[in-house]
Amino acid sequence: MRNRFDEQLALLNKKMIEMGALCENIIALSTKALLDGDVEGAKRVTAIGSDIDHMEREIESICLKLLLHQQPVARDLRQISAALKMITDMERIGDQAEDIAEIIPFLSGRTGEECAEIREMAEVTINMVTDCVDAYVKQDLKLARSVYDHDDVVDTCFDKVKSKLISMIAQNTDNGEYAIDLLMIAKYFERIGDHAVNIAEWVEFSVTGEHKE
């Protein structure tokens, strides 16, 4: 019985890694489309979003089977429960990346080059997602908690973007619509960081049994 449970738990971990990789890919693709001014590339983001939605349902099914048929206890139960919570935030990360891609056609070829912090936000949020999933699989509390520090970097970048865009509008009001679009993109990256923090908190719960509010 335990061998069967361990096999299914290993499958769960494998699928979590795959879903995490999809989240990394969709952030990277939407960022590349933005920086390249690539409208066609932005359209490809939707396909990855669909894959993430499918993976969420698949992982949910694995978790429910483990809960219903294997009757896990203690740490195993926390790990499965945490996975169910995590995939909700991972799916939302996919949605936020799609939201970024949907704005790109309205930028008229402009790439947000005035705000290097947007690129930094993308890089940091990708690393945050990677660390969250690795921390879950390895049950690494230190790695999970490191995500909180990375979120501070994302928040600082967001504040810098806001300041730059305010200055941009002040210098030329014709940039107003473009600046608002960039601000929305930066906000979506900031939200991705928030979702990564939520995931890290559930990883911490799976290890300690305590959820950080």
pLDDT score for 211? 82
Q: Can you give the pTM of this predicted structure?
A: 0.93
Domains, the chain, in order of start with CATH, read: 2-208 (1.20.58.220)
Query: Residues 102-106: what's their mean pLDDT?
Result: 96
Phi, psi (rounded to 5 degrees) for 197: -65, -45
Query: CA-CA distance, 159 to 155, in Å (whole number)?
Result: 6
**CB-based contact 97:51 (threshold 8 Å):** no
Out of 123-127, 158-162, 209-213, pick the least confident. Answer: 209-213
pLDDT score for 212? 74
Tell me how long the chain is.
213
Query: CA-CA distance, 144 to 8, in Å (whole number)?
Result: 23
> With pLDDT > 70 as the criterion, what percentage of the chain qualifies?
99
**CB-based contact 188:122 (threshold 8 Å):** no
Instruction: Please give the mean pLDDT across all residues of the chain.
Output: 93
